[in-house]
Amino acid sequence: MAELPQAARGFGVTFFTMFKKVVTEQYPEDRDKYPPKPRFHGRHQLNRWADGLEKCIGCELCAWACPADAIFVEGASNSEEERFSPGERYGRVYQINYLRCIFCGLCIEACPTRALTMTNDYELADSSRASLIYEKVDLLGPMLPGMLPAPHPMVPGLTDTDYYAGKVKGSVPAQAAGRPDADVTEATS
């Protein structure tokens, strides 16, 4: 007989909870209602200069800093015909293995050109191991207005030092010379 009131009390908890405000966040239905904090460590992004050249110089300092050995980089030389970044060197191969990455952000601290930053994208589940190794094309940031897809020359008259000093504000038509197919993202807004 002593158990009955206790059981009733337990069911009571359940009963009254049904009328309380729900704390569960529905995923994926309501994900847009709950964005991560701005400084959340999500998927990486390889940034571009305002004219579309890549910021990555293939120096591998991110790979060196990585405690999980998740990053693989191979550098290569830019040439006058095929330029991906200002200066002499660019990252020809850039891979981050998200099965290994622990999102500690040491790579971001190591990057000397701020080519590598982290986004808030946390949706990194997938069904195969291979697809979780992100290549450079997967990591490169979006083409923003005024950008011209690499490879293309630097802004005429400027050097890599000017890029690092932030003097480049967007691509100029001369950079698309010889590339009729090149599609400069319209500088709207």
Partner 1 sequence: MTMTSNAGSDLAAVDMVSVTVDGVTIEVPKGTLAIRAAELLGVEIPRFCDHPLLDPVAACRACLIEVEGMPKPAPACAQVVTDGMSIRTQMSSPVAREAQEGVLEFLLLNHPLDCPVCDKGGECPLQNQAMSVGRPESRFDGEKRVFDKPINVSAEILLDRERCVSCARCTRFADQIAGDPMLELLERGAKQQVGTAADQPFDSYFSGNTVQICPVGALTSAAYRFRARPFDLVSVPTTCEHCASGCSLRTDYRRGTVTRRLAWDDPDVNEEWNCDKGRFAFPYLREGRISSPMVREDGELRPASWPEALDAAARGLAAAGSATGVLVGGRSTVEDAYAYARFTRVVLGSDNIDFRVRESSGEEAVFLAAVIAGSPVTTTYASLEQAPIVLTVALEPEDESPIVFLRLRKAARAGRTRIVSVGAVATKGLAKVRGELISALPGAEAQAIQTLPADIKSALGQPGAIILVGERIAAVSGGPSAVAALAAETGASLAWVPRRAGERSALDAGALAGLLPGGRQLLDPTARTEVAAAWGIDPDELPTGIGLAGEQLLMAAREGRLAALITGGVELADYPDHELAEAAIAGAGFIIALENHHSAITERADVVFPVAVVTEKSGTFLDWEGRPRPFGQVFRDSLAQSDAMVLGMIATTMERRLGVHDVAGIRRELGALGPWGGQRNLAPAYGAWSAPVASAPRDGALLALVAWRALIDAGVMQEGEPFLAATARPVVAAMSARTAASIGNPAAVMVTGPKGSVEVPVQVGEVIDGVVVLPLNSPGCSVYRDLGVRIGDAVSVRAAEAREGGRS
Give the integer Cα–Cα distance in Å for 180 and 176.
7
Among 46, 53, 57, 139, binds partner 1 (CB under 8 A): 57
Give the integer Cα–Cα distance in Å for 176 and 184.
8
Give the integer Cα–Cα distance in Å for 88 and 160.
9
The interface with partner 1 within residues 103-142 (CB under 8 A) comprises 112-113
Q: How many CB atoms lie within 10 A of CB 54?
A: 25
Examine residue 60 and tell whether it contacts partner 1 (CB under 8 A).
yes
Examine residue 61 and tell whether it contacts partner 1 (CB under 8 A).
yes
- Binding to partner 1 by CB under 8 A, coded x per residue (else -) over 70-109, reads ----xxxx---------xxx--------------------
Residue 77: CB minimum distance to partner 1, A: 5
Among 64, 165, 167, 177, binds partner 1 (CB under 8 A): 64
Q: Is 62 helix (H, G, I), strand (E, B) or coil?
A: helix
Examine residue 183 and tell whether it contacts partner 1 (CB under 8 A).
no
Give the integer Cα–Cα distance in Å for 99 and 68.
10
Residue 167: CB minimum distance to partner 1, A: 16
Residue 61: CB minimum distance to partner 1, A: 6
Query: For partner 1, which is the closer residue by CB, 57 or 139?
Result: 57
Q: Which stretches does DSSP call E strand in the chain?
A: 44-46, 71-77, 89-97, 116-118, 133-134
Give the integer Cα–Cα distance in Å for 27 and 29.
5
Binding residues for partner 1 (CB under 8 A)? 57-61, 63-64, 74-77, 87-89, 112-113
